[in-house]
Chain A
Amino acid sequence: MQKSLHIDPAKCTGCLQCESACSLEQEGMINPSKSRIKVFNFHDEGRFVPYTCTQCDEAWCMQACPVDAITLNPANGSKDVNEDICVGCKVCTIACPFGTINYNSSTGKVVKCNLCGGDPQCAEACPTDAITFIDADATGLDKMRAWASRTDNTGA
Chain B
Amino acid sequence: MAWTKKLLRVDLSAGVCTEEALNMEWANDYLGQRGLATRYLVDEVDPKCDPLGPDNKLIMTTGPLTGTNASTAGRYSVVCKSPLTNAVACSNSGGFFGAELKMAGWDMIIFEGKAASPVYLHIVDGRAQLHPADDLWGKSVWEADKMLHAKVQDAQTRMALVGRSAEEGCLYAAVVNDLHRAAGRSGVGTVMASKNLKAVAVRGTQGIGNIHDPKRFMETVKAGKKVLAENPVTGQGLPTYGTQVLMNVINEVGALPTRNMSEVQFEGASKVSGEAMHEPRKTDGKPNLTTNGACYACTIACGRISTIDRTHFSVKDKPEYWINSGGLEYEAAWALGPDTGVDDIDALTYCNFLCNEDGMDPISFGSTVAAAMELYEKGVITDSHTGGMELRFGSAEALCWAAEKVAKGEGFGKDLGLGAERLCEKFGHPELSMTVKGQEFPAYDPRGIQGMGLAYATSNRGACHLRGYTVASEILGIPEKTDPLESEGKAGLVKAFQDATAAVDSAGLCVFTTFAWTLDDIAPQVDAACEGDWSPDRMLEVGERIWNMERDFNMKAGIDGSMDTLPKRLLSEGGNSGPAKDRVNELDKMLPEYYELRGWNSSGEITSETRQKFNLPA
Contact = CB atoms under 8 A, between A and B. Distances in A.
B205 A14 contact: no
A21 B69 contact: yes
Interface stretch (A27-35, A59-67, A83-91): A27-35
Contact of B207 (A29, A48, A125): A29
A102 to B, nearest CB: 13
A24 B205 contact: no
Contact of A17 (B96, B297, B323): B297
A46 B303 CA distance: 11
Contacts of A48: 291, 293
B207 A30 contact: yes
A47 B204 CA distance: 24
Contact of B305 (A29, A31, A46): A46
A15 B298 contact: yes
Nearest to B325: A43
Contacts of B298: 13, 15
Contacts of B307: 46
Contacts of A30: 67-69, 207-209, 211
A10 B292 CA distance: 10
B290 interface: yes
Given A29-B208, A31-B205, A34-B205, A127 B299 contact: yes
A50 to B, nearest CB: 12
A55 interface: no
Nearest to A47: B291
Given A16-B296, A17-B69, A30-B69, A127 B225 contact: yes
Given A13-B301, A15-B295, A128-B301, A46 B290 contact: yes
B294 interface: yes
A137 B306 CA distance: 36
A100 interface: no
Contacts of B205: 31, 33-34
Contacts of B292: 13
A44 interface: yes
A29 B293 contact: no
A43 B582 CA distance: 47
A62 to B, nearest CB: 28
A23 interface: yes
Interface in A26-77: 27-34, 43-48
Contacts of A29: 207-209
A132 interface: no
B324 interface: yes
Contacts of A44: 323-325
B296 A31 contact: no
B69 A24 contact: yes
A44 B323 CA distance: 5
Contacts of A16: 96, 296-297
A125 B323 CA distance: 30
B103 interface: yes
B297 A15 contact: yes
Query: Interface centre among B207, B229, B297, B299, by most A CB within 10 Å?
Result: B207
Contacts of B297: 15-17, 20
B301 A15 contact: yes
The size bracket of the interface on A is 20 to 34
A88 B294 CA distance: 36
A94 B305 CA distance: 36
B179 interface: yes
Contacts of B209: 28-31
Nearest to B323: A44
Interface string B261-301: 00000000000000000000000000000111111111101
Contacts of A15: 294-299, 301
B529 to A, nearest CB: 11
B206 interface: yes
B576 interface: no
B129 interface: no
A45 B305 CA distance: 9
Interface string B134-177: 00000000000000000000001000000000000000000000
A30 B206 CA distance: 9
Given A21-B69, A30-B69, A43-B324, A13 B207 contact: no
Best-buried of B69, B205, B211, B324 by chain A (most CB within 10 Å)? B69
Interface in A69-126: 125
A31 B207 CA distance: 4
Contacts of A47: 291
Contacts of B225: 127
Contact of B229 (A23, A32, A46, A127): A127
Contacts of B67: 30
A108 to B, nearest CB: 16
A16 B303 CA distance: 14
A28 B209 CA distance: 8
Given A14-B293, A47-B291, A33 B69 contact: no
A32 B299 contact: no
Interface in B58-79: 67-69, 71
A20 B204 contact: no
A33 B207 contact: yes
Interface of B: 67-69, 71, 96, 103, 156, 179, 204-209, 211, 218, 225, 229, 239, 290-299, 301, 303, 305-307, 323-325
Given A31-B209, A127-B71, 11 more contacts: A13-B291, A16-B296, A29-B208, A30-B67, A31-B208, A45-B323, A45-B324, A46-B306, A47-B291, A127-B301, A128-B301
18 contacts: A10-B291, A13-B292, A13-B293, A13-B301, A17-B299, A20-B68, A30-B68, A31-B207, A33-B156, A33-B205, A33-B207, A44-B323, A44-B324, A46-B293, A46-B307, A46-B324, A125-B69, A128-B301
